């Protein structure tokens, strides 16, 4: 991930336009020059830093022109004069015009390609905030080999939301390289911790192959255009646009018998204990659904419904209450957290059976948060996790074993009952505990959640073991956006 070095550490002082860049006292390097030419829109935006809520002020004062003073002695009326509302802060509204800052890295070919090493620009101003652009010519610790990383960093103690894009234009009219955010990104204050997708810097760990960028040099310099825009200053409200009604309409059609083209009969028999022949009989419950959401979100369940067959599809070994949760999720619904916690294992098993991957992983994460591991139940939990391909739960079990007292583990845990191939996961957990340095770029030591996010960003499947996730990520080298 990108980070902010201390002044004088792994930084280069760049020549700069005194009107656009603030001198941070960094060491000058003649080979690297960075130029920013603010557009007229940027100059206008920098003069407006604060805006407020006119209507709130009017409500507190009783409305424009409502203040009156009655002079009782002569019965004359004195009218007050109302000035324009003083705007404080920038209310949410339409986005400003794009501000373009060309950033020029001279002698790009000679910049270090050591992984994790970076060059940081001097500070420049835009939208009343100070920024830096950081480039990792050899990629950051999480980049695919051969790729260059590029980040935009907030240098202020205040947060701001900005939409941005990096563009490297081909000098001979070829195809431009463009990486952009589709929405406003929240930049937290400088030096703050990353929380979810909010951090002090945003960018791309795999911006472009370094070998490809060599064809974009102009007199040895790499020029990257930094495009930025934010909420437009002023008090005009954003235009009202109704949200896409698909999800609301889909949920409204959930269980609609008149429009349904699929019917399920759920219940009738539920398996008892393992190895027993008898089954507990339960009453059946009818559910009506539609093929389209099932085909998109529960492919295995959709395949059980034969086209043209009006007879109900029988579903056994699932309680009707659990099956209703699954159907509701397929329509875009959100399962109540209490239900998810109390029925996590049942939801995991049913989701795994019918191919509802996202719900399976959500229930798994909930189960990991609630399960209490002990040396007495660790074998039972880890073998269950392995049988359902629950990589996050397996990792949780291995973390527990690696941090437990080794003597007690050897005395109480029957390792003969644990599949031998899971020992690799245990060694990975042990290595992660012993490694003090940053291992975020090492796929072999990455946590399951990190691997799943990487796979998801690349459009790959996320339901698999650690080995499956790592293999699919390596087979697909193209990277996506990262937060820092």
| DSSP of 310-347 | -SPEEE-SS-HHHHHHHHHHHTT----HHHHHHTHHHH
- Are 239 and 288 within 8 A, CB to CB? no
- pLDDT reported for residue 161: 92
- The residue length of the chain stands at 484
Report how far residue 392's alpha carbon sits from residue 314's, in angstroms, rounded to the nearest whole number.
32
Show the low-confidence residues of the chain (pLDDT under 70).
Answer: 1-94, 232-238, 268-282, 436-441, 478-484
pLDDT, mean over the chain: 78
Q: Beta strands 262-266 and 285-289: pairing type? A: antiparallel
Task: Read off the tokens for 204.
Answer: 């791309």
pTM for the predicted model, two decimal places: 0.50
pLDDT single digits (tens) 31-77: 333 334 444 444 433 333 333 444 443 444 444 444 444 443 344 44
- pLDDT reported for residue 26: 37
- pLDDT reported for residue 158: 92
- pLDDT reported for residue 32: 35
pLDDT single digits (tens) 401-432: 988 888 888 888 888 888 888 888 888 888 88
Report how far residue 223's alpha carbon sits from residue 34's, in angstroms, rounded to the nearest whole number.
9
- Are 166 and 207 within 8 A, CB to CB? yes
């Amino acid at each position: 991930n990108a980070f902010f070095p201390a002044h004088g550490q792994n930084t280069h002082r760049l020549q700069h336009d005194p009107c656009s860049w603030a001198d941070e006292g960094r060491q000058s390097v003649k080979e690297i020059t960075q130029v920013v030419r603010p557009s007229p829109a940027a100059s206008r935006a920098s003069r407006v830093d604060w805006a407020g809520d006119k209507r709130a002020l009017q409500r507190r004062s009783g409305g424009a022109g409502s203040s009156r003073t009655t002079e009782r002695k002569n019965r004359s009326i004195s009218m007050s004069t109302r000035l324009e509302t003083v705007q404080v802060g920038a209310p949410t509204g339409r986005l400003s015009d794009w501000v373009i800052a060309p950033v020029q890295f001279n002698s790009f070919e000679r910049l270090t390609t050591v992984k994790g090493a970076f060059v940081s620009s001097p500070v420049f101003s835009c939208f009343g905030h100070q920024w830096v652009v950081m480039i990792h010519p050899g990629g950051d610790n999480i980049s695919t080999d051969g790729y260059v990383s590029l980040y935009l960093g907030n240098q202020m103690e205040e947060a701001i939301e900005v939409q941005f894009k990096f563009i490297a234009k081909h000098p001979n009219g070829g195809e431009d390289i463009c990486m952009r955010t589709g929405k406003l990104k929240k930049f937290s204050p400088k030096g703050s911790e990353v929380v979810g997708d909010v951090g002090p810097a945003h960018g791309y760990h795999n911006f472009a192959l370094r070998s490809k960028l060599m064809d974009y040099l102009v007199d040895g310099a790499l020029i990257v255009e930094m495009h930025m825009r934010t909420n437009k200053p002023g008090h005009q409200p954003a235009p009202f646009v109704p949200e896409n009604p698909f999800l609301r309409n889909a949920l409204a059609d959930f269980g609609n018998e008149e429009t349904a083209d699929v019917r399920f009969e759920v219940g009738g028999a539920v398996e008892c204990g393992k190895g027993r022949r008898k089954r507990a009989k339960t009453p059946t419950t009818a559910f009506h659904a539609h093929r389209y959401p099932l085909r998109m979100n529960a492919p295995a369940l959709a395949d059980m419904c034969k086209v043209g067959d009006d007879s109900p599809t029988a579903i056994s070994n699932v309680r009707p209450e659990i099956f209703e949760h699954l159907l509701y999720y397929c329509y875009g619904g959100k399962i109540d957290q209490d239900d998810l916690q109390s029925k996590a294992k049942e939801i995991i098993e049913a989701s795994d059976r019918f191919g509802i991957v996202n719900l399976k992983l959500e229930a798994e994460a909930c189960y990991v948060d609630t399960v209490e591991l002990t040396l007495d139940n660790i074998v039972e939990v880890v073998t269950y996790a392995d049988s359902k391909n629950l990589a996050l739960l397996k990792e949780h079990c291995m973390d527990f074993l690696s941090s437990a007292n080794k003597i007690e583990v050897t005395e109480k845990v029957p390792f003969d009952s644990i599949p031998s191939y899971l020992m690799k996961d245990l060694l990975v957990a042990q290595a992660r505990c012993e490694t003090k340095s940053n291992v975020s770029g090492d796929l072999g030591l990455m946590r399951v959640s990190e691997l799943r996010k990487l796979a998801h960003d690349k459009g790959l499947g996320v339901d698999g073991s650690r080995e499956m996730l790592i293999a699919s990520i390596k087979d697909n080298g193209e990277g996506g956006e990262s937060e820092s």
